[in-house]
Structure 1
Amino acid sequence: MTSTIALDSSKYFTLCGLGGAIACGTTHAAITPLDLIKTRHQATNITGGSLYTGVGATFIGYSLQGAGKYGFYEYFKQKYSLLVGPKYAHEYKTGIYLAASASAEFLADIALCPLETIKVKTQTTSPPFCNSVWQGWSKIVKSEGVAGLYKGIVPLWFRQIPYTMVKFATFENVVDRIYSFLGKPKKEYTALQQTGVSFLGGYIAGIFCAVVSHPADVMVSKINTDKVPGESSSQAISRIYGKIGFAGLWNGLTIRIFMIGTLTGFQWLIYDSFKVWVGLPTTGGH
């Protein structure tokens, strides 16, 4: 699988971003019913309605987030490797994975946050807060200003950045270990076999991601439904934690482990399949 596209070119990073958008947008939209159940369990006692409530905001938001997460991850991974130099790049590879993924997710969440706010409000109100993404966007801006779309940005960063750091660093290291266990270099396996390794590595990484990021995920759901107007994020977090306690931060964990494991496995499968399709090498195992 020799690529004619330079791995440090803008075309490469753009294609990685496109692959990430496809992988994240489609998978998150597909599991909307599970996400709906999980979010309502965390934040409310609402039942009934369409299982695909919030699917529009989910698809758009996570397509944008996926583009930023995967595209910027590949960009920062390459830049940080150059920064430390070839002598240390391999020795400190896990540190590079962690730094690159954290940088990428920080930027990706800026695009995701408004859509995540609309999604959560739609899923946790009865009747639903809005009937379309545009209607939800307009209602929030009219009542709370643009800041209302970003009221969950801090807990979102606390949820998504550790999640993505674990997702990428665990995936890269697990894939390396899988190829070491199999006993042959990655290049000696077919594209189908390599994408199979990507799915397995992604599923394992997803389990770790779910546990690490779950408390912040609960808090994001709570803040988007229970934050008092004029209250800062830190005040809201403190007040909500006082109500639910430490145990409340783990509501819905079992559902989320299954959801995130499956989600992450298929994201890596779709992402690396897309890379193979456009003539790029699969991720990890170098």
Structure 2
Amino acid sequence: MTPSDASPNRWSDLDRPPLNVPALRRGLLRPGGLWTSLDVVDVTGSTNTDLAARAAELTEGTVLVAEEQTAGRGRLDRTWTAPARSGLFFSVYLTPGDEVPVHRWGWLPLLAGVATATGLARAAGVDTALKWPNDLLVTVEGEERKTGGILAERAGDGVVIGIGLNVTLRADELPAATAASLALADAVSTDRETLLRGVLRSLDHWYGEWRAAGGDAAQSGLQAAYAAGCATLGRTVRAQLPGDRSLVGEAVAIDGDGRLILSTADGVQEPVSAGDIVHLRDAEGGLT
């Protein structure tokens, strides 16, 4: 890892300036706030991997941002790469501790999704939907496309949460036809410092509410907020489950443990706690 250098001679694209680290620290590292340190590196393999390796020495509220990731990871070991400074690639370290029972920590990636969607709505003016469990969707030319993802991993006494967002990727830079960026979704702002501040402040708020409620997603309002923003609910989906199994049904609810509840054709309601979700086509042939 190399510390970020904000000098102009590092710019390869004037539309993608480097992050202003002192300004970010002034805006986010406040007494009594969640965020305790913030570092930006020019390039690294994965911010999640970096924080997880240092978990034993980290304090809660550590933030690590990369201008470029060469081995970013998503769920199911998928890779996440993008041009330098074209997005936000960062990880945070949280330690819910004794205030939240460990069995409720599974809500953290969903909490990060709600916080990110809320922060982007305010900072970028973009309606961001949540695909269970941890994809972020925007609408481009009438189609929902993935613009970001979240990966949470246990590390040390806490959890590392990684968030990746495509911000200024152009159409010819997208990794897949189903991908998108905030710019392509007509965001009113693609200033990465504004977006990062918005997301981290939103994460501070939602984490504080959830932790104060002892991790109770219903009491903290998190369960209702996730359901309200979840694009998966009300749709027919296929869940690719561990062990090469699959389950098709209508996504009808998010339960108190953060599981997706599917109502199958035989009338059984099945909870899904882990799996890859595919939104299937409806009878008219459109994506659901």
Task: Say whether the fold is shared (TM-score over 0.5).
Answer: no
Q: TM-score, normalised by structure 1?
A: 0.28
| Greater RCO (CA < 8 Å, at least 6 residues apart) | 1
Bigger fraction of residues in helix: 1
